[in-house]
Amino acid sequence: MPTIKSYGVNTRNYIRWDAQAVEKVPPNENEDIQAVADMINTIQKTHYNTTRHMYSGTHPRTQGLVKGKLIVGDLPPHLAQTELFSKPGEFPIAMRYSTETADPGIDDRIPQPRGLGMKVFNVQGEMFDSGKDFPTQDIEFNSTPAIELADAKTTKEIFQIRLKYGGDKKELYKQLEARDDTDLQKARDEVRNTHLESIRQYSQTAYRFVDYVVKYSLVPSSETQKKLYEEQVNPEIHTNHVLSDWLKEFFSKNDAEYLFQVPICENLEDQPVEYAGKEWDAEKYPWQTVAKVVIPKQDSMIPARKTFWEDHIRLDPWHGLKSFQPLESTNRLRRGVYLASIALRHKMNGRKEINVTSIDQIPDGGDVEA
């Protein structure tokens, strides 16, 4: 298998992103992706019939929106990859905290994966067509290191089960327990329900890193954030919006800091790319820091900012640098599904997509134009 000799923690052999074995598109994947897009639209319509507002098909519940910066230092050659990390610098960022499940009204007291979306501004480089006129890089995170929607085929199967049995948890679990990946499928309901500022966030899927392949993670690094990990949600005493309340209280008094880290792919059996349901072993393939994220004190739930993001913004990992290309089946699925989701959302809400080119376009207060 083609490799590149490089120097990380030790001398290591990293796999090239374009090696033949990295991506293997299975037959009928496009049909699976279209089936998932149709089911996502069905889920959106179901919630629209209740709320009379169209939300995104995933991560519809906004927990908070903040602004800050991504800070890149002087990195060794094997980490100084993509236009984001190739040289020291700072980039303005906007980040949205969310809950993954498709229900926009889900109770914060129910354990579920939590998401974080980051839009990085002033990024220069060769972009994919959908973002070629906009100097931004979209980056997605999730609070679980592996995703149960591990490829397009699995995603289609799971969404079929959820649509049919989503209202009957006993029958839903019966269907999931009949699967070989039952532990992975049920893990989303067993996550630790704690303060959003204490949660480590993961890419779950793999990405090109110029010559290499990486996943990435955002690690809370301030002592204040680390201590909050012990603060778990208690359904008996907390409200159904406790996570947003905790986030707002935190940012009213504290800055937040994160380390942006990557492990680099060396072994496709241990670190599969096409299947996103397996966590890469951090003991064998260490996380290496490529940047720091700093979020200053601020109001994390400005109504105008929330409305603007939910009504006009699309966060999509295919909106960005070719040198940071999303890899594998789940990311290929996202390319089609996200477009279908946002097209229906904008149509039903009578809104248009706004491709922001400056962080100043994201409101800090005041009114939002339709």
Residues 1 and 15: beta-carbon distance below 8 Å: yes
**C-alpha angle with apex 272: 144 to 288, nearest 5 degrees?**
65
Partners of 232 in beta bridges: 194
Q: Is 368 part of a structural domain of the chain?
A: no
How far, CA to CA in Å, does 191 sit from each of 62, 107, 114, 126, 185?
19, 15, 9, 38, 12
Q: What is the pLDDT of residue 104?
A: 94
CATH of the domain at 352: 2.40.180.10
* H or E segment and range at residue 162: helix 152-165
Q: Is 370 part of a structural domain of the chain?
A: no
Q: Is 166 part of a structural domain of the chain?
A: yes
Alpha-carbon dihedral of residues 214, 90, 60, 255, nearest 10 degrees? Answer: 110
Q: What is the pLDDT of residue 3?
A: 42
Q: Is the pLDDT of residue 48 over 50?
A: yes
Of 161, 201, 207, the C-alpha closest to 185 is 161
Q: Is 263 part of a structural domain of the chain?
A: yes
Q: Is 67 part of a structural domain of the chain?
A: yes
Tokens 């290929």, residue?
332
Domain total for the chain?
Answer: 1
Q: Is the pLDDT of residue 327 over 70?
A: yes
Give residue 98's domain range: 3-361
Q: What is the pLDDT of residue 202?
A: 98
CA neighbours closer than 13 Å in the CB half-sphere of residue 359: 19
Q: What is the pLDDT of residue 7?
A: 44
Distance CA 348, CA 289 (A): 42
Tokens 């670190």, residue?
271
How far, CA to CA in Å, does 74 sit from each of 89, 221, 302?
9, 19, 35
Residue percentage of the chain with pLDDT more than 90: 93
pLDDT band for position 366 (50/70/90)? Answer: low
Each residue of 58-80: pLDDT tens digit?
999 999 999 999 999 999 999 99
Distance CA 162, CA 165 (A): 5
Q: Is 366 part of a structural domain of the chain?
A: no
Query: How high is the mean pLDDT of the chain?
Result: 94
Six-digit token pair at 278?
A: 């397996």
Lowest mean pLDDT of 131-135, 261-265, 319-323, name the range. 131-135
Q: Is 367 part of a structural domain of the chain?
A: no
Residues 359 and 93: beta-carbon distance below 8 Å: yes
Distance CA 215, CA 299 (A): 31
pLDDT band for position 365 (50/70/90)? Answer: confident
Q: What is the pLDDT of residue 9?
A: 46
pLDDT band for position 2 (50/70/90)? Answer: very low
Q: Is 70 part of a structural domain of the chain?
A: yes
Six-digit token pair at 88?
A: 């020291």
Distance CA 309, CA 60 (A): 11
* H or E segment and range at residue 340: helix 329-349
Q: What is the pLDDT of residue 131?
A: 84
pLDDT band for position 343 (50/70/90)? Answer: very high
**C-alpha angle with apex 70: 67 to 75, nearest 5 degrees?**
175
Q: Is the pLDDT of residue 298 over 90?
A: yes
Residues 316 and 334: beta-carbon distance below 8 Å: yes
pLDDT band for position 11 (50/70/90)? Answer: low
Distance CA 84, CA 210 (A): 11
pTM (whole model) above 0.75: yes
Residues 314 and 337: beta-carbon distance below 8 Å: no
Alpha-carbon dihedral of residues 58, 63, 69, 74, nearest 10 degrees? Answer: -60
Q: Is the pLDDT of residue 368 over 70?
A: no
**C-alpha angle with apex 23: 34 to 316, nearest 5 degrees?**
50
- Count the residues in the chain: 370
Letter for the amino acid at 288? Q
Q: Output 181 or 12, whichever has higher pLDDT.
A: 181
Letter for the amino acid at 160? Q
Six-digit token pair at 269?
A: 């059996």
Residues 364 and 296: beta-carbon distance below 8 Å: no
The pLDDT of 146-168, averaged and rounded, is 96
